[in-house]
Amino acid sequence: MSAVLQTWCRVGRRCIPTQNSSIMAIRNYSAPSYEYVKVSTAGTNDRVGVVQLNRPKALNALCGPLMVELEAAIRAFDQNPSIGAVVITGSEKAFAAGADIKEMQNRTMSANISESFLGGWEGIAAMKKPLIAAVNGYALGGGCEVAMMCDIIYAGDRAKFGQPEITIGTIPGGGGTQRLTKAIGKSRAMEMNLTGVPISAQEAASWGLVSKVFPAAELVDEAIKTADKIASHSKLIVQMCKDATNAAHELSLAEGLKTEKRIFYATFATDDRKEGMTAFVEKRKPDWTDS
């Protein structure tokens, strides 16, 4: 087994409390106390939420308590009217090196079904506001799947993406066979899922999994810049645009085009559509009310 796959598999059963690390240019944010994630705000008028996975000794392995906190932190930002977009990141060594294997080792099929194991992960993808994954280091297994639940993925130049579940006798369970196939196509997804071999950030970008690649030290700042730009628009219209774009992954082309048209028409019932076009004609910046 390669060193990367050994890293992915070598996680503990319990989440280990760690000291919060800092991210440059990000301000402190008054929020509920979390043990395994760190929350901050950034951007113009603190309109960008930042969630940092904070389990460094286990390379941010996704144990149950961490995932509960991650979903809660993102949901708090999603419900905060001053936040326009959210960045999710980890450390320079790992975005997340996979799910917690020892936590899963003795689970049974019946328990998985009755408890809807991993079902709560989908709450991340259900967020209304745009999510940007800023991936440095390893994004393996569940880490890759969480990144794919986000709307945009930016990667550091030394990032690694992979679905190594096959090497431990199982398959991806958080979207690795589905979202990955939609993102990069059947042949490449099959290769990643059936070999378990990770790909580089550069490969991920050329295959369409990642939007942009940056030097590792610049990654989070670049993700915040994009999130800040998104947050400068009407939050209502951004949400509607996100819904329309997501429809392309879930519907046929014909149904997707109908959905797009319905949402496009619906923007004409909003104050922000009127304000945006009026501001354009009057050659001034729009004053969004998110209504």
> If one looks up domain 235-281 in CATH, what number appears?
1.10.12.10
3-class DSSP state of 59: coil
CA atoms within 13 A on the CB side of 181: 12
* Options 165, 175, 204, 223, the catalytic residue: 165
- Residue pair 236/263 in contact (Cβ under 8 Å)? The answer is no
- Domains 3-231 and 235-281 agree in fold: no
Note if 165 is an active site residue. Answer: yes
* Options 142, 143, 162, 176, the catalytic residue: 142
> What is the tens place of the pLDDT at every residue in 175-190?
999 999 999 999 999 9
Note if 99 is an active site residue. Answer: yes
**Candidates 1.20.200.10, 3.90.226.10, 3.20.20.70, 3.30.200.20; correct CATH number of 3-231?**
3.90.226.10
> Strands 37-42, 48-53: parallel, antiparallel or unpaired by DSSP?
antiparallel
**28 versus 162: which is more confidently predicted?**
162
Q: Region 104-124: what's the mean pLDDT? A: 88
Task: Show Cβ contacts of residue 89 under 8 Å, excluding neighbours closer than 6 positions.
Answer: 23, 50, 51, 52, 53, 95, 133, 134, 135, 136, 219, 220, 223
Mean pLDDT over the full length of the chain: 90
DSSP string, 85-125: EEEEE--SSEEE--B-HHHHTT--HHHHHHHTTTGGGHHHH
Domain limits, the chain: 3-231, 235-281
> What is the tens place of the pLDDT at every residue in 191-235?
999 999 999 999 999 999 999 999 999 999 999 999 999 999 999
Question: Can you name the residues that pair with 86 across neighbouring β-strands?
Answer: 49, 131
> Would you place residue 32 in the very low, low, confident or very high pLDDT band (cuts 50, 70, 90)?
low
Q: How far apart (Å, rounded) are the C-alpha atoms in residues 39 and 73?
A: 7
Note if 142 is an active site residue. Answer: yes
* Options 145, 175, 204, 247, the catalytic residue: 145
> Would you place residue 40 in the very low, low, confident or very high pLDDT band (cuts 50, 70, 90)?
very high
User: Can you give the pLDDT at residue 6?
Assistant: 41
pLDDT exceeds cutoff 80 at 19: no
